[in-house]
Amino acid sequence: MVSFLAAFSYECFITRDGAAIWSAGAAWIIVGLLIAWCIYSAWEGKDDAWYKRVGETYKRKRHQMAIQLSDIQTIR
């Protein structure tokens, strides 16, 4: 399976057709991101870990920005 993908990619990237190169490149990027996400999810052990962490970070940053904005308004 890996040799087929390697040969297919070789044929796509060796050509001088820009559309084929960009399509194959985009497909490889998407596949790479999906593989990285799968490995990360398996490593983490929980399916909900990544979006809870993102949500907490967003709330913390939003709170920090609100404090900075209130400090700026107090100075004026």
pLDDT digits (tens, 9 = 90+) for 22-32: 988 898 899 99
Reported as a single tens digit per residue, the pLDDT across 49-68 is: 677 888 899 999 998 888 88
C-alpha torsion sign, points 22, 25, 30, 31: positive
Distance CA 38, CA 55 (A): 20
**What are phi and psi for residue 16, nearest 5 degrees?**
-100, 10
DSSP codes of every residue in 23-74: HHHHHHHHHHHHHHHHHHHHHH--SSHHHHHHHHHHHHHHHHHHHHHHHHHH
